[in-house]
């Protein structure tokens, strides 16, 4: 058997042992490529460092039977945001707000029942919400009546997969809310209203929270049900707002797991695999997530990166049930260590979670700043971790 990046990653995703430890990263950020790699492409990034390649694509497709069409003024941004889909009842208008410290844009959602709006700000590293979409509880009624439910553009996904061949795997994610969101149902809601208010609503008006989550779930299920012939290797679900650094295990069990479990089941029925992504705290809910039956879990964020994960203990708890992805402290070992210390950390991760297979070494989420020589040491040492 000739091992390729694709075979190696798929072997680990099947919770088995490949020839060596698979090593990759989550997202390759444009900031890093431009500021540290002289503008290299994502494909060149993987080749330069000897990492096992992942290609992300998330193309959506309008349903012409419902008179849907692409937003004529919007294009897919990079590799994460799909081209928006409009209908007669759902449009998005943008307006840049001048004279602000950060790039600031107001998004107006135009519907027959009234308009909603949100404001996003961004810098070279990231984007965040400065005005939330849901301002009153009745606003979710507009989403229920008019929000477009995108489907997968299978032709585009399969073209990416065919062009990639054995060079790596194709990843995508469950659709987020238009403009800004997260793949998980609760996590998407947390991008549309203030998280503190959402948490308080679980105590004060749980029925409304469930109604809100059901509206978002139905949109996601429409997409998942359209995936039956898409050549994805794995799709991401979840998001940081489900972590135990933000919510309690009780809230997770009542307001996160029941909805995302349905997505995972539907994805499996469509022949797709799911990686459940939580950056932040997750040790108290490791088994809760595994009980949702995902195929993989990520990012296993260590305490040094703001999480709580003991990688060895996590592997002992759920390592025989799912593929584990991540666990590497990129803040320390891509920025502030020596190459030898980075190599030692790779070995530590391998000993903690990788010796029995079913483990993909990766940073605990994406990174912006890194010394290329440390990324090189990271990949090179992983190549030496043999099975």
Q: Using alpha carbons, list the distances in angstroms from residue 52 to 187, 327, 333.
A: 29, 17, 19
Rounded to an integer, what distance in angstroms lies between the CA atom of residue 46 and that of residue 133? 38
Predicted model pTM: 0.96
Rounded to an integer, what distance in angstroms lies between the CA atom of residue 132 and that of residue 212? 15
How many domains does the chain divide into? Answer: 1
Say whether 64 sits in a helix, a strand or coil. Answer: helix
Residue 275's H or E segment, with its range, is: strand 274-278
Q: Which residues contact 150 (CB under 8 A, 6 or more apart)?
A: 60, 61, 62, 82, 85, 175, 219, 222, 223
Q: Which residues contact 354 (CB under 8 A, 6 or more apart)?
A: 21, 361, 385
Rounded to an integer, what distance in angstroms lies between the CA atom of residue 4 and that of residue 376? 19
pLDDT of residue 37: 95
Q: Specify if 103 maps to a domain.
A: no
pLDDT of residue 157: 97
Rounded to an integer, what distance in angstroms lies between the CA atom of residue 311 and that of residue 27? 21
Rounded to an integer, what distance in angstroms lies between the CA atom of residue 381 and that of residue 373? 12
Q: Specify if 91 maps to a domain.
A: no
Q: Specify if 106 maps to a domain.
A: no
Q: Specify if 113 maps to a domain.
A: no
Rounded to an integer, what distance in angstroms lies between the CA atom of residue 316 and that of residue 318? 6
Q: Specify if 93 maps to a domain.
A: no
Q: Specify if 354 maps to a domain.
A: yes
196 by Cβ neighbours in 10 Å (0-12 / 13-18 / 19+) ranks as: exposed
Long-range pairs for 155-164 at CB < 8 Å and ≥24 separation? 156/57, 156/59, 157/57, 157/59, 157/230, 157/231, 157/232, 158/229, 158/230, 158/231, 160/55, 160/57, 161/231, 161/232, 161/233, 162/231, 164/6, 164/53, 164/55
pLDDT of residue 100: 82
Query: Taking a C-beta distance cutoff of 8 angstroms, is the pair 347, 385 a contact?
Result: yes
Q: Which domain holds residue 203?
A: 5-83+134-383
Spatial CA neighbour of 104 closest among 118, 119, 116? 119
pLDDT of residue 77: 64
Rounded to an integer, what distance in angstroms lies between the CA atom of residue 328 and that of residue 354? 12
Q: Specify if 78 maps to a domain.
A: yes
Q: Where are the alpha helices (DSSP H) in the chain?
A: 5-13, 30-36, 42-49, 139-146, 154-164, 185-192, 195-204, 206-224, 249-251, 257-269, 286-290, 311-318, 330-333, 339-349, 372-383
14 by Cβ neighbours in 10 Å (0-12 / 13-18 / 19+) ranks as: middle
Rounded to an integer, what distance in angstroms lies between the CA atom of residue 363 and that of residue 378? 10
Structure tokens, 69: 């069409």
Q: Phi, psi (5° rounding) for residue 218?
A: -60, -35
Q: How many CB atoms lie within 10 A of CB 122?
A: 12
Q: Which residues contact 322 (CB under 8 A, 6 or more apart)?
A: 15, 290, 294, 295, 296, 297, 358
Tell me the CATH number at 374. 3.20.20.210
Query: Taking a C-beta distance cutoff of 8 angstroms, is the pair 220, 242 a contact?
Result: no
Structure tokens, 78: 């990079």
Rounded to an integer, what distance in angstroms lies between the CA atom of residue 365 and that of residue 125? 14
Residue 386, beta-bridge partner list: 20
Q: Specify if 95 maps to a domain.
A: no
Digits of tens for pLDDT over the chain (387 positions)?
599 999 999 999 999 999 999 999 999 999 999 999 999 999 999 999 999 999 999 999 999 899 999 999 888 665 567 899 999 999 999 999 988 888 999 999 999 999 999 999 999 888 899 999 999 999 999 999 999 999 999 999 999 999 999 999 999 999 999 999 999 999 999 999 999 999 999 999 999 999 999 999 999 999 999 999 999 999 999 999 999 999 999 999 999 999 999 999 999 999 999 999 999 999 999 999 999 999 999 999 999 999 999 999 999 999 999 999 999 999 999 999 999 999 999 999 999 999 999 999 999 988 999 999 999 999 999 999 999
Q: Using alpha carbons, list the distances in angstroms from residue 359 to 3, 138, 223, 253.
A: 16, 45, 28, 26
Share of the chain above pLDDT 90, in %: 93
pLDDT of residue 321: 96
């Amino acid at each position: 058997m000739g091992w390729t990046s694709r075979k190696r990653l798929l072997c680990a995703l099947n919770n088995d042992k490949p020839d060596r430890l698979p090593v990759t990263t989550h997202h390759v950020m444009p900031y890093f490529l431009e500021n540290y790699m002289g503008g290299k492409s994502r494909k060149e990034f993987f080749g330069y460092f000897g990492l096992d390649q992942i290609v992300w694509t998330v193309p959506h497709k309008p349903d012409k039977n419902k008179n849907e069409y692409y937003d004529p003024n919007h294009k897919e941004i990079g590799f994460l945001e799909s081209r928006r889909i409009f209908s007669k009842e759902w449009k998005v208008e943008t307006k840049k707000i001048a004279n602000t410290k950060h790039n600031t844009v107001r998004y107006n959602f135009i519907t027959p029942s009234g308009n909603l709006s949100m404001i996003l700000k961004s810098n070279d590293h990231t984007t965040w919400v400065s005005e939330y979409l849901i301002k009153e509880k009745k606003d979710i009624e507009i989403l229920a009546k008019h929000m477009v439910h995108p489907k997968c553009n299978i032709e585009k996904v399969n073209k990416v997969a065919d062009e990639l061949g054995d060079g790596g795997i194709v990843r995508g994610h469950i659709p987020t809310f238009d403009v800004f969101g997260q793949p998980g149902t609760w996590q998407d809601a947390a991008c549309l209203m203030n998280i503190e208010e959402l948490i308080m609503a679980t105590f004060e008006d749980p029925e409304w929270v469930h109604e809100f989550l059901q509206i978002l779930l139905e949109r996601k299920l429409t997409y998942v049900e359209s995936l039956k012939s898409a050549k994805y290797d794995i799709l991401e679900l979840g998001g940081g707002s489900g972590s135990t650094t933000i919510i309690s295990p009780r809230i997770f069990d009542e307001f996160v797991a029941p909805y995302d479990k349905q997505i995972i089941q539907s994805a499996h029925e469509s022949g797709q695999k799911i990686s459940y992504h939580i950056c932040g705290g997750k040790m108290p809910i490791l088994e809760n997530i595994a009980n949702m039956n995902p195929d993989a879990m990520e990012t296993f964020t260590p305490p040094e990166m703001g999480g709580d994960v003991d990688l060895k203990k996590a592997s002992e708890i759920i390592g025989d049930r799912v593929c584990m992805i991540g666990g590497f402290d990129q803040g320390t070992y891509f920025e502030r260590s020596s190459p030898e210390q980075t190599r030692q950390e790779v070995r530590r991760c391998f000993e903690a979670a990788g010796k029995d297979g079913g483990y993909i070494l990766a940073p605990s989420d994406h990174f912006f700043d890194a010394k290329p020589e440390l990324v090189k040491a990271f990949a090179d040492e992983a190549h030496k971790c043999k099975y």
